[in-house]
Amino acid sequence: MEDIRGNLNKINEEIKLCAERCSRNAEDVLLCAVSKTRTPEEINIAIDAGVTDIGENKVQEIMDKFDAVKPVKWHMIGHLQTNKVKYIIDKVSMIHSVDSYKLAAEINKRAAQHGLVMDILLQVNSAEEESKFGITTDETEKLIKEILDTCENIRIRGLMCIAPYADDPEDIKVYFEDVKKQYDEFGKIDHPRLDFKYLSMGMSHDFPVAIEAGSNLVRVGSAIFGERNYNK
């Protein structure tokens, strides 16, 4: 059995050290515990140990676990199909993976039906690197404008990225730094429904580097819950 509480202590300590190294406060970095493939029991152990935010990358897993997990903030961090937005719109507190206007429009429509305003992040790519994940800087600018013009039930809270895998996370620091530049730039837009607060980047193997590059929301799974076994 994985020592979830012990792992969390270590990660929180590491977040603190990283933040100190770059003269920031550990409290400014939000830890989102990624619980894909994990049971509600395991998630509740993490919550009892102080975790406030849980991330899942599949709609089905959020629906399956929602009722059995203690009150917590849920984050949708994975690719989201428009036809599944309706299942999670009233369950999650933020959607990290918005990468098209079509998806934003559906989130807006469902949020309006529930009388709520959904916080979203735009999933972006670094201009410095080729990657299959996320939208380019030009596309991001266009998407922000479209959402602000037409989606009254969406609030844009920042950016999210998934860096390409690197054996040495230092190799992708420029990637994170580039996304941080975009975050600072787009965050200047003056609009009542754009309120940048979250730069979601960094996972188990690269979160220290991501924090050094300016991340304030790290999505950590296996370092908390152990290696995933997708066959079980």
Ligand X SMILES: *Cc1c(COP(=O)(O)O)cnc(C)c1O
Query: Interface residues with ligand X (CB under 6 A)?
Result: 34, 36, 57, 77-78, 162, 203-204, 219-223
> Are the beta carbons of 189 and 150 closer than 8 angstroms?
no
CA 228 to chain centre: 19
Q: How many helices and strands in the chain, by DSSP H and E?
A: 9, 8
Q: Is 32 helix (H, G, I), strand (E, B) or coil?
A: strand
**Least distance from C-beta 22 to ligand X, angstroms?**
21
In the complex, least distance from residue 21 CB atom to ligand X, rounded to whole angstroms: 21
Nearest-approach distance from CB 40 to ligand X, in angstroms: 18
Q: Which is nearer to ligand X, 155 or 219 (CB)?
A: 219
Please provide the size of the chain in residues. Answer: 232
Which residue intervals of the chain are DSSP H helices?
A: 4-21, 40-48, 59-65, 85-88, 101-113, 137-150, 173-186, 207-212, 222-225
C-beta of 24 vs 36, nearer to ligand X? 36
Q: Which of 27, 2, 13, 14 is nearest to 208 (CA)?
A: 14
Burial of 225 (0-12, 13-18, 19+ CB in 10 A): buried
Q: How far is the CB of 203 from ligand X (least distance, A)?
A: 4
Q: Considering beta carbons, is residue 34 or 47 the nearer one to ligand X?
A: 34
Q: Which is nearer to ligand X, 120 or 162 (CB)?
A: 162
Place of tokens 């220290």: 208
Residue nearest to ligand X (CB): 221
Name the minimum Å distance from CB 127 to ligand X. 20
CA distance 210 to 82: 29
Burial grade of 73 (CB within 10 A; 0-12, 13-18, 19 or more): middle
Q: Which is nearer to ligand X, 138 or 230 (CB)?
A: 230
Closest distance to ligand X from the beta carbon of 15 (Å): 13
Closest approach of ligand X to the CB of residue 19, in Å? 18
109/205 with CB nearer ligand X:
205
C-beta closer to ligand X: residue 75 or 180: 75
